[in-house]
């Protein structure tokens, strides 16, 4: 039988053999690992279309409150056709069922395929998953897709729908801070965004031993996640891990590092992870609202909490951190010294 899954167990086993003792999965910041299940703030986007002014205002207020207090929320009645979502999921599953050797060598889309964590030096930095990280600039290049042209067509339609939802939400969040609704839209072109197709094979190890995806924050403005009903996503809330209960009608939205920096910490980019499942596989698709690498990120008003930096500089710093310590440090390296001193006083 040809195996479509990557040799995750071999890689993980090598990390354990090179460690003094087996590692237990834990937060990169050492927080309490106690987990409770919750439902994220649930926002019905139909409220934005209401003829009642107070209902429209209540909907926008709920979005901004969730972005500030949780950094995560769910949206229903988002306008994306369920048939489009189902078709995208089917195409995603077909892609991941391709034999592993072919995924590694076929060169689809200039080799965006990743599995495990090549930079991991410890089992705490290892992710039991595989993914295709696809820059949306590649959609127009039909020759890159080969036999996966139906996937290209699905992504083209899916990405356009996700962009519309992300711009709607980014506009509301920007306007809440006193800026035009297109303030973030002007920074993030459709072609500079990314799509990440995720697959988490079932894991023979205990849930306490290994991550499906290691704890991290997202490096974009906004992420919109379409996931299946298996569950496994957890986020940090009040210094505790909270398990997100899947909702088949909802998309999950979370604030990225760039929005936190641009908003001067008004909106929160929250650490999150995926827990490996020992019985069933899990699929998800993440849409990342990103600027170009040359785009300057600065606070939306003065005094700014962070130094000005380009998205490219931020990505480079993340790569350097991963090389040196195995994980990203995030925005803390870009804090203005005077802000940091005041905060610590």
pLDDT in tens, 285-299: 999 999 999 999 999
Three-state DSSP at 89 gives: helix
User: Which 8-state DSSP code applies to residue 181?
Assistant: T
Q: Which domain holds residue 182?
A: 34-292
Q: Which conformational region is residue 249 in: left (phi greater than 0), alpha (psi within -120 to 50 degrees), or beta?
A: alpha
Residue 261: other Cβ atoms inside 10 A: 27
Residue with tokens 């690498």: 293
Tell whether 322 is covered by a domain: no
Comparing C-alpha atoms, which of 279, 281, 309, 305 is closest to residue 295? 309
Report the side by side order of strands in the sheet with 233-237: 32-38, 240-244, 233-237, 272-275, 211-216
Comparing C-alpha atoms, which of 192, 177, 199 is closest to residue 97? 199
More confident residue, 300 or 341: 300
pLDDT (average), residues 1-9: 78
Three-state DSSP at 243 gives: strand
List all residues 6 or more positions away from 44 whose beta carbon is below 8 Å from its beta carbon: 59, 75, 76, 77
Tell whether 2 is covered by a domain: no
Cα(5)–Cα(163) distance, integer angstroms:
30
Regarding pTM above 0.85, the answer is: yes
Structural tokens at position 101: 């050797």
Tell whether 182 is covered by a domain: yes
Tell whether 336 is covered by a domain: no
Least confident of 10-19, 59-68, 152-161, 332-341: 332-341
* Percent of the chain residues topping a pLDDT of 70: 90
Domain count, the chain: 1
Q: Measured in whole angstroms, how far is the alpha carbon of residue 321 from the centre of its chain? A: 19
Structural tokens at position 270: 């929250």
- Beta strand pairing status for 240-244 and 32-38? parallel
Contact 162, 80 (CB under 8 A): yes
Tell whether 10 is covered by a domain: no
Residue count (the chain): 345
Helix, strand and coil percent figures for the chain, each rounded to 5: 40, 20, 40
Cα(96)–Cα(114) distance, integer angstroms:
12
pLDDT number for residue 28? 45
Contact 310, 266 (CB under 8 A): no
pLDDT (average), residues 32-58: 91
Q: Is the peptide bond before 155 cis (omega within 30 degrees of 0)?
A: no
* Percent of the chain residues topping a pLDDT of 90: 69
Structural tokens at position 265: 């910490």
Tell whether 149 is covered by a domain: yes
pLDDT number for residue 144? 73
Cα(134)–Cα(114) distance, integer angstroms:
11
Phi, psi for 246 (deg, rounded to 5): -60, 145
**Partners of residue 211 on adjacent β-strands:** 127, 275
Provide the H-helix boundaries in 18-148: 53-69, 82-96, 100-105
CATH number reported for the structural domain that contains residue 92 in this entry: 2.60.120.330
Confidence of residue 33 (pLDDT cuts 50, 70, 90): low
Contact 276, 211 (CB under 8 A): yes
Cα(211)–Cα(286) distance, integer angstroms:
18
Tell whether 1 is covered by a domain: no
Tell whether 344 is covered by a domain: no
Contact 250, 44 (CB under 8 A): no
User: Which 8-state DSSP code applies to residue 324?
Assistant: H
Cα(303)–Cα(336) distance, integer angstroms:
10
pLDDT (average), residues 135-164: 88
């Amino acid at each position: 039988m040809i195996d479509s899954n990557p040799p995750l167990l071999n890689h993980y086993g090598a990390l354990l053999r090179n460690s003094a003792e087996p590692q237990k999965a834990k937060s990169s910041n050492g927080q309490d690992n106690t987990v409770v299940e919750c439902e994220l703030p649930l926002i019905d986007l139909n409220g934005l279309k209401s003829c009642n002014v107070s209902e429209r205002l209540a909907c926008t207020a709920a979005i901004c409150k969730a972005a500030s207090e949780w950094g995560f929320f769910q949206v229903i009645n988002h306008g994306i056709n369920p048939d489009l979502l189902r078709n995208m999921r089917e195409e995603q599953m077909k892609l991941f069922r391709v034999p592993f050797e072919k995924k590694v060598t076929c060169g689809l889309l200039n080799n965006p395929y990743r599995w495990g964590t090549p930079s991991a030096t410890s089992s705490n930095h290892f992710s039991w998953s595989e993914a295709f990280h696809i820059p949306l600039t590649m959609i127009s290049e039909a020759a890159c897709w080969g036999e996966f042209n139906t996937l290209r067509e699905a992504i083209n339609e899916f990405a356009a729908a996700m962009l519309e939802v992300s711009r709607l939400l980014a506009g509301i969040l920007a306007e809440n801070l006193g800026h035009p609704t297109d303030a973030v839209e002007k920074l993030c072109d459709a072609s500079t965004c990314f799509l990440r197709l995720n697959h988490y094979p079932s894991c023979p190890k205990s849930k306490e031993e290994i991550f499906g995806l290691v704890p991290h924050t997202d490096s974009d403005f906004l992420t919109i996640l379409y996931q299946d009903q298996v569950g496994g996503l957890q986020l940090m809330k009040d210094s505790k891990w909270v398990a997100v209960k899947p909702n088949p009608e909802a998309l999950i939205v979370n604030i990225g590092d760039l929005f936190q920096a641009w908003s001067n910490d008004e909106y929160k980019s929250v650490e999150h992870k995926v827990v490996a499942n020992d019985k069933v596989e899990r699929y998800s698709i993440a849409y990342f609202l990103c600027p170009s690498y040359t785009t300057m990120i600065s606070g939306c008003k003065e005094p700014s909490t962070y130094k000005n930096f380009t998205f490219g500089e931020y990505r480079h710093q993340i790569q350097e951190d991963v090389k040196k310590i195995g994980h990203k440090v995030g925005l803390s390296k870009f804090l203005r010294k005077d802000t940091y001193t005041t905060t610590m006083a």
